[in-house]
Amino acid sequence: MADALLSASLKVLFDRLASPELVNFIRAQKLSHELLNKLERKLLVVHKVLNDAEMKQFSDSLVKDWLVQVKDVAYHAEDLLDEIATEALRCEIEASDSQASGTHKAWNWEKVSTWVKVPFANQSIKSRVMGLITVLENIAQEKVEFGLKEGEGEELSPRPPSTSLVDESSVYGRNEIKEEMVKWLLSDKENSTGNNVDVMSIVGMGGSGKTTLAQLLYNHDTVKQHFHLKAWVCVSTEIFLIKEVTKSILKEISSETKPDDTLNLLQLKLKERVGNKKFLLVLDDVWDMKSLHWDGLRIPLLTAAEGSKIVVTSRSETAAKIMRAVPTHHLGTLSPQDSWSLFTKLAFPNGHSSAYRQLEPIGRKIVDKCQGLPLAVKALGSLLYYKAEKREWEDILNSETWHSQTDHEILPSLRLSYHHLSPPVKRCFAYCSIFPKDYEFDKEKLILLWMAEGLLHSGQSNRRMEEVGDSYFNELLAKSFFLKCIRGE
């Protein structure tokens, strides 16, 4: 996340290079515009590969070290420009006072403090700028050696497509919410929209068990008997493709499709196939949904019989709202007791910890670190099953497993959510890393902090900074990066 702040820092530098203070600086120091333009070009070369470097740092320690170097250069360059701007403003004020009193004072750039982390710290401003360009040229050369790409860079691999199958013996908790959902699925009363098809959503952060809960519903004996047709479709792509989803639904309900079928032909087939039949559709792992796309998908489904249902799982509450999902269930974390039950099932032979008295207290501490996230509990429980020595368990507890390649299931799942945030929202979320664990913060105060750090940009719109911050905050809340604190809990 710190690299999102690095990107913000470079954005600040680009803005500064075109500022009046820097223009005055160029004139006062008799520097050419070409020198500053060259600096900007070098910064831009580095900036263009940051997205790719951010992805690769998790699998390549050299790239991670490279990012640390870039961070140093960017932050110290920003400090230098800050001091130049401050000195420029001071000189401007003194010049104004001098004119009022009839005296004159020259610009005093020597008062600008030195950049202590580079060999040319005691040289002139011009030499320092040239030195900075040299450092950036070296960094830019290294980016070529690492094979970093410009633009979006290397994409994170999404998780494998889900299926409707589930191992119910490895599911703990969720009983209450599951029974509530089963009751909803079996209800045939007409919904408030007047349509035959109701939509329910399960929303939560990556790894919270949304898919598992949907699988339990899909395989519930009473639910299977209640519906004439059922279809499970794993969407799992950033862009919702109506044609592909429609084709997947048809395949699930044993309807023939051809490679050259148009969307119109596919939808006519779907309309005919589900007509007057009670139909259950699960759309798992929906990342994004636009109103137009949803309207296009749902039209052929409206011919289904009354009592037909759609269950959607998503990390984004926005997608659920567009699909007019009522109800929407926000899936929280597992209780400590359920987390421990799941862990013992996977980590100990025969699912019992009583025979492993030395390992049990370590295991409980590891489970606490998982913070009720089922995917984390499963991944670490499965990993520890093959480790019987106390030292090996302590290594997992005390190591950087939570940030390393060893944790090949947990982090990719959570990073995928972060990767899909827009760059401005990434920066604001990264800023929140300054808060301690479990810190409760106030929305308005956080937005003011974002404003003070220059993280909010209205772009071409005329929105106030507070409105921009509010939209960023709401996006993070909708995608489960923030959890609403209910007083009294």
pLDDT digits (tens, 9 = 90+) for 321-346: 899 899 999 998 899 999 999 999 99
Of 195, 126, 475, the residue nearest 316 (C-alpha): 475
pLDDT value, residue 84? 65
pLDDT in the model for residue 411: 54
203 and 325 Cβ atoms separated by less than 8 Å = no
In the chain, what are the domain boundaries? 2-145, 168-330, 336-412, 423-478
Query: For residues 343-356, b (16+ Cβ closer than 10 Å) or e, as one string?
Result: bbbbbbeeeebeeb
Average the pLDDT over 145-167 and give the result: 73
Q: Quote the tokens at residue 239.
A: 């862009």
Q: Note the pTM of the prediction, 2 decimals.
A: 0.67
pLDDT surpassing 80 at residue 360? yes
Of 294, 284, 280, 301, nearest to 322 (Cα)? Answer: 294
Average pLDDT in the 172-182 region?
93
CATH number, span 168-330: 3.40.50.300
- Read off the pLDDT of residues 63-83 as tens digits, 9 standing for 90 and up: 878 887 887 777 767 766 666
Residue-level pLDDT at 250: 95
Q: What is the reported pLDDT for 349? A: 87
Distance CA 107, CA 110 (A): 9
Residue 27's pLDDT is 56
Long-range contacts at 460-469 (CB < 8 A, ≥ 24 apart): 469/428
Model pLDDT, residue 200: 96
* Interatomic CA distance for residues 282 and 215, integer angstroms: 9
Residue 403: per-residue pLDDT: 47
Distance between CA atoms of residues 312 and 320, nearest Å: 8
* pLDDT tens digit sequence for 264-301: 999 999 999 999 999 999 999 998 788 778 888 999 99
Instruction: Pick the more confident residue, 34 or 245.
Output: 245
- Mean per-residue pLDDT, 110-135: 56
pLDDT of 376 higher than 80: yes
The DSSP result for 150-164, as a single string, is: STT-SPPPPPPPP-S
* Mean pLDDT confidence for 29-38: 64
CB 352 within 8 A of CB 344: yes
pLDDT in tens, 228-247: 999 999 997 766 788 999 99
pLDDT of residue 49: 76
Q: Does 30 score more than 80 pLDDT?
A: no
Which is more confident, 186 or 402?
186
> What is the pLDDT confidence band of residue 139, given thresholds at 50, 70 and 90?
confident
pLDDT recorded at residue 15: 60
Amino acid 415: pLDDT? 67
- List pLDDT tens digits, range 405-428: 444 455 556 666 777 777 788 888
**Comparing 46 with 448, which gets the higher pLDDT?**
448
Neighbour count for residue 42 (Cβ, 10 Å): 19
Contacts 24+ apart (CB under 8 A), 444-452: 446/473, 447/473
Tell me how crowded residue 272 is: count the other CB atoms within 10 A of its CB. Answer: 11
Q: What is the pLDDT of residues 441-487, one digit of tens each?
A: 889 999 999 998 888 876 656 788 899 999 999 888 877 788 776 54
